[in-house]
């Protein structure tokens, strides 16, 4: 299988297309190597005020636990098919100049 790559010269961001409940947005995603979730977007960006699919507890850096709304959706990066986020990709930070994502 050939390696598929996405390269972004806007370090440390990568371009993504995110879709939730039929709404689609093109965004620049900040890659946070310490984050163990999927994708966080500004409140209301994709939901139009609709209730979340569920709520999940998240522990913040200061130790406080908050309930965060969760919406099922899809992420697409370049020609890479939608599934998972950074847990299935090799992410290379090239000396503060660019980000390379490989599948």
pLDDT tens digit string along 34-75?
Answer: 776 678 888 778 777 789 999 999 888 899 999 988 888 888
Bridge partners (DSSP) listed for residue 57: 67
Flag whether 49 is in a domain. yes
What is the pLDDT, as a whole number, of residue 36? Answer: 67
* Domains in the chain, number: 1
Cβ neighbour number for residue 1 with a 10 Å cutoff: 4
What is the pLDDT, as a whole number, of residue 54? Answer: 93
Flag whether 84 is in a domain. yes
Separation in Å, CA 58 to CA 14, 64, 65: 24, 8, 5
Flag whether 102 is in a domain. no
Enclosing domain of residue 54:
5-90
Please tell me whether residue 38 adopts helix, strand or coil conformation. Answer: coil
pLDDT digits (tens, 9 = 90+) for 9-19: 998 888 889 88
């Amino acid at each position: 299988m050939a390696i598929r790559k996405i390269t972004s010269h806007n370090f440390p961001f990568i371009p993504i297309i995110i879709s939730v409940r039929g709404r689609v947005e093109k965004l620049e995603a900040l890659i946070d190597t310490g984050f163990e979730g999927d994708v966080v977007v500004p409140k209301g960006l994709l939901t139009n005020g609709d209730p979340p699919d569920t709520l999940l507890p998240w522990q913040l850096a200061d130790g406080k636990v908050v309930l965060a709304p969760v919406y099922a959706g899809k992420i697409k990066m370049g020609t890479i098919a939608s599934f998972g986020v950074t847990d299935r990709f090799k992410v290379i930070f090239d000396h503060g100049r660019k980000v390379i994502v490989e599948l």
